[in-house]
Chains A and B, each alone.
Chain A
């Protein structure tokens, strides 16, 4: 700005001044100090108690510095996992028991905010906050002001060393400046068509590392053509145009128990009508649907195919409700195994997270690239 900013600010704030004179101000400060000394009140004590009360953490939990125990997802619902309505979300909420979290940096606290899902899939919401109550966002540079983050998850496994698919469906900076991660965990391990394993009552671990503002990361990689991973927290590369990162190794471990409502499924068995599906590594295939299984949080489709010529380059697969409403799904790429394939979809609604739960009672059909299959 050509006009001197200093002058502007001096002028503007010349009107801003305390409303009382200094003598009475001093007097009131001293009176407060005297009162505190008389009552033996320490300034910090009520703050700590209030904070613990707000967080719902017991004194014993605070003293060991780790969050353990039962997490009630109802309390934080709507902040993390998206559903079409809150009542449905509450019904679908599962519980995570014996939660244990770790962070490579004591300045950052990892917290499992809540879980929901089915016997085979878990949606988990994780919050990473500052131990000093500050905004995590303030500790990494974000020149483009992008609140969407790219996170790196090193995998997830269930008890018994069984690796399960895990994906970070979205990472973002919340209004409070904390980083939030929505994870989806599923037991249909990539690369082979094994029967899904039940997650219920099993101990699971999610490991993750590093967050970058998505737009900054892509722009930086595109312009510089360099590796994205730096050695130092807070800044990558160095220099004024460096992008910032929160380089942090973290993990969340918990035992998951779904709610009764969330385990309800719908679907259809083998169908006679064929459809075309684009499967990664295979191309477009004329497919016979062997089964479709819908749960509140995801849809698993299995099929067998034969190569065919088609112009389809991407799939248009969605769920249809009784009133005709369409709920889009994500098709990750499909996993082929010889002449069959399988994939698990999550539901997505425009403008919302792609990890939402739906009310199955209203779902009547699934459309796969124009072919409609009735669901019971």
Chain B
């Protein structure tokens, strides 16, 4: 891969990969590390891609695998998490409150919600990316939405608006 092409892909997808990683790791520092690992793999990758979308899907898959590896590792489980400040309600648009609620959803549901509602992947595409069935994706979306709704109501959101 040429340096120019690599730079282009970093600009295009770095933020997305960072957010996917953040969804799993709930930590800016860990998300940074995972993003770097994913792009490192891309830089060293010998194969070719047919489209940018294919690159993005590949990067997401690599990042998710890396997140799972990290979360499973004995080192990670034994290490003390560094307290990081998640954005809260101090922002003007309430996004911080929603993010804090999203981060309290179970990881498996949270990731599927993010992929569907932020990355706007279809159920079929998510199933393919995560190697799970479409029914499993639908179930996780349903559970995730329900969890998010409950959490937002607790945060003072009006039930009728959700």
Contacts and interface: CB of A to CB of B under 8 A. Distances in A.
A60 interface: no
Interface stretch (A11-19, A190-198, A299-307): A11-19
Contacts of B39: 25, 29
Contacts of B149: 1
A8 interface: yes
B143 A12 contact: no
A1 B149 CA distance: 7
Interface in A212-244: 234-235, 240, 242, 244
A87 interface: no
B114 interface: yes
Interface string A7-41: 01111111111111010011011101100100000
Given A1-B145, A29-B39, A16 B96 contact: no
Contacts, number: 125
Contacts of A138: 108, 130-132, 136
B18 A133 contact: no
Q: Which of A16, A22, A134 has the most CB of B within 10 A?
A: A16
Nearest to B101: A12
B117 to A, nearest CB: 4
A104 interface: no
A50 B74 CA distance: 10
A1 B162 contact: yes
Contacts of B120: 6
Contacts of A139: 132-133
A139 B36 CA distance: 29
B161 A3 contact: yes
A43 interface: yes
Given A8-B98, A12-B102, A32-B40, A22 B32 contact: no
Interface in A56-104: none
B98 A11 contact: yes
B118 interface: yes
Place the interface of chain A in its size category.
Answer: 35 or more
Interface in B109-135: 113-114, 116-118, 120, 130-133, 135
B43 interface: yes
A244 B19 contact: no
User: Which label, helix, strand, loop or mixed, suits the secondary structure of the B interface?
Assistant: helix
Interface in B28-74: 28-29, 31-32, 35-36, 39-41, 43-44, 68-69, 72-74
Contacts of B162: 1-3
Contacts of A43: 40-41, 44
B40 A29 contact: yes
Contacts of A54: 74
A126 interface: no
Nearest to B130: A138
A134 B69 CA distance: 9
Contact of B133 (A2, A20, A235): A235
B47 to A, nearest CB: 15
A277 B6 CA distance: 77
Contact of A6 (B43, B91, B117): B117
B15 interface: yes
Nearest to A235: B133
Among B14, B28, B36, B98, find the residue whose CB has the most chain A CB atoms closer than 10 A.
B98
B28 A28 contact: no
20 contacts: A1-B149, A1-B162, A6-B118, A9-B113, A9-B117, A12-B99, A13-B19, A16-B87, A18-B14, A22-B14, A25-B35, A43-B41, A47-B69, A138-B132, A140-B133, A143-B135, A145-B143, A235-B133, A240-B135, A244-B133
Given A29-B39, A29-B43, 18 more contacts: A1-B148, A2-B160, A5-B113, A6-B118, A11-B93, A11-B98, A13-B95, A14-B95, A16-B99, A29-B40, A33-B43, A50-B73, A54-B74, A133-B69, A134-B131, A140-B133, A235-B133, A240-B138
Interface of A: 1-3, 5-6, 8-20, 22, 25-26, 28-30, 32-33, 36, 43, 47, 50, 54, 133-134, 138-143, 145, 176, 234-235, 240, 242, 244
